[in-house]
Amino acid sequence: MEDYRNRPRKNTPHLVRVIDDDTGKTMGRVVDITADGMMLVTKELIEPGKTYNFRIVLPIMVHHRSDINIQAKAVYSNPDENSEFSKCGFKFIELPGEDGFILEDVMHKFSLVG
Which residues partner with 47 through β-bridges?
none
Instruction: Provide the 8-state DSSP code for 15.
Output: -
Helix, strand, coil % (nearest 5) of the chain? 10, 50, 40
Domain with 82, as residue range(s), is 11-109
5: confidence class by pLDDT, cuts 50, 70, 90: very low
Give pLDDT tens digits for 7-34: 554 445 557 899 999 999 999 998 888 8
Give which of 21, 5, 18, 24 is closest to 53, Cα–Cα: 21
Q: Would you say residue 67 lies in a domain?
A: yes
Number of domains in the chain: 1
Give pLDDT tens digits for 50-81: 999 999 998 878 888 889 899 999 999 999 89
CATH number, domain of 23, equals 2.40.10.220
Question: What are the Cα distances from residue 32, in Å, to 2, 23, 35, 48, 64?
Answer: 18, 23, 11, 18, 24
Give the global pTM: 0.80
Q: What pLDDT sits at residue 111?
A: 60
